[in-house]
A and B are shown apart, each in its own frame.
Chain A
Amino acid sequence: DVVMTQTPPSLSVAIGQSVSISCKSSQSLVYSDGKTYLHWLLQSPGRSPKRLIYQVSNLGSGVPDRFSGTGSQKDFTLKISRVEAEDLGVYYCAQTTHFPLTFGSGTKLEIK
């Protein structure tokens, strides 16, 4: 199984600051079609998860461009520029390249 290691487990940031979350996979996430199926999700408190970014760097519909994703192969980063209060919650990376599909353990973002 592909293990997704997310760091840090939690972080506290002030409004307007920038923050990065790392996600490393135990295997390359490049599929046979050449695409990389690594996605980022946000679960706001009491809500269902929502996809922010798909295939490493593509912004989901309606997602502010303060969010950006980078990376390749086994090493990926989510960056949030100019954090806003609504960004609090738990961020997950998820891979859909290999079965079984797996998720990172989550990064809890708190606002100072």
Chain B
Amino acid sequence: EVQLVETGGGLVQPGRSLKLSCVASGFTFNNYWMSWTRQAPGKGLEWVASITNSGGSTYYPDSVKGRFTISRDNAQNTLYLQMNSLRSEDTATYYCTRGYYDGWGQGTLVTVSS
């Protein structure tokens, strides 16, 4: 069974940084692209970042490019999202997702507020 467990969310002030982690189990982690997807309170889904199996390539929307960095440690079956220069509009639940959305974690809430 695919399991994805996110940690690292919390309350952070605007302009500060936060790093999310996602530990994967139940599948061969290095066989899959992985992504982060977020959902602001009461809103829809927004793609945040993706990374290839090996970690050699990464992709971002303009809304987070230059501020967020996705990475992975295939030896530890762990996906990361380093978030810098956080803004109030980054407030959301952040989900770790596998491949073409065939696996989702429970999400971790990030609140950016002073």
Task: Check B59–A94 contact: CB distance below 8 A.
Answer: no
Residue from B44, B60, B100 in contact with A51 in the complex, judged by beta carbons closer than 8 Å = B100
Interface residues on A, range: 20 to 34
A60 at the interface (CB under 8 A from B): yes
Task: Check A54–B45 contact: CB distance below 8 A.
Answer: no
Interface residues of A: mostly helix, strand, loop or mixed? loop
Task: Check B100–A54 contact: CB distance below 8 A.
Answer: yes
Say which one of B13-21, B75-83, B101-109 lies at the interface with A. Answer: B101-109
Task: Check A49–B59 contact: CB distance below 8 A.
Answer: no
A24 at the interface (CB under 8 A from B): no
State which residues 57-112 of A face B: CB under 8 Å. Answer: 60-61, 92, 94, 96, 99-106
A60 to B99 CA separation, bound complex (whole angstroms): 13
B71 at the interface (CB under 8 A from A): no
Least CB distance from B81 to A in Å reads 15
Least CB distance from B7 to A in Å reads 15
Residue from A50, A61, A92, A100 in contact with B45 in the complex, judged by beta carbons closer than 8 Å = A92
Residue from A51, A100, A106 in contact with B101 in the complex, judged by beta carbons closer than 8 Å = A51
Least CB distance from B9 to A in Å reads 14
Task: Check A49–B47 contact: CB distance below 8 A.
Answer: no
Q: Could you give, for residues 71-114 of chain B, a 1 whenever the CB lies within 8 Å of some chain A CB and a 0 otherwise?
A: 00000000000000000000000010000111011110000000
* Interfacial residues, chain A to chain B (CB-CB below 8 A): 37, 39, 41, 48-51, 54-55, 60-61, 92, 94, 96, 99-106
